[in-house]
């Protein structure tokens, strides 16, 4: 009986760890999604500008004059980087969800075994 309880407790802890890990990664994905949306909006705004338009880049408390072409390239590179990160995080989420499902199945199996062992123990008494 004690062995079942230890296994069950261990699996519960593993399940909780997997949940926390998944939660962190999902929060990270939401943050990346927000950054991607912001950069796509900036790209759309930059695409509306004429070639001779002045563009300024904020560096700390200072605005620095930047070439429009360079600004567009920087935003495109950021979008590309964030998109790759989103793909990586999505893969990580899928892996963690599978891991969590496995822990959940193990928990259910152990709970059933524990209940069966309790019934057998009660019948012996």
75-95 residue pLDDT tens: 999 999 999 999 999 999 999
pLDDT for the residue numbered 3: 78
Q: What are phi and psi of 95, to 5 degrees?
A: -60, -45
Question: Concatenated DSSP letters for 22-75?
Answer: HHHHHHHHHHHHHHHHHHHHHHHHHHHS-TT--EEEEETTEEEEE-HHHHHHHH
Residue 48 CA to residue 101 CA, distance in Å, equals: 47
Count of residues making up the chain: 125
Tell me what pLDDT residue 117 has.
Answer: 80
Backbone torsion region of residue 43, taken as left when φ is above 0, otherwise alpha when ψ lies between -120 and 50, otherwise beta = alpha
* Segments of the chain scoring below 70 in pLDDT: 1, 125
CATH of domain 2-124: 1.10.287.370
Alpha carbon distance 89, 32 (integer Å): 9
Predicted pLDDT of residue 48: 96
pLDDT at 1: 67
pTM, entire model:
0.79
Position 31 scores a pLDDT of 98
């Amino acid at each position: 009986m004690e062995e079942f309880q230890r296994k069950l407790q261990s699996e519960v802890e593993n399940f909780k760890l997997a949940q926390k890990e998944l939660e962190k990664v999902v929060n990270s994905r939401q943050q990346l999604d927000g950054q991607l949306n912001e950069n796509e909006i900036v790209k759309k705004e930059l695409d509306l500008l004429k070639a001779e338009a002045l563009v300024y880049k904020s560096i700390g408390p200072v605005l620095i004059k930047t070439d429009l072409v360079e600004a567009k390239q920087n935003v495109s590179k950021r979008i590309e980087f964030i998109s790759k990160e989103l793909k990586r995080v999505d893969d990580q989420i899928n892996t963690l969800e599978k891991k969590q499902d496995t822990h959940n199945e193990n928990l259910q199996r152990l709970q059933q075994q524990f209940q069966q062992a309790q019934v057998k123990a009660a019948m012996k008494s």
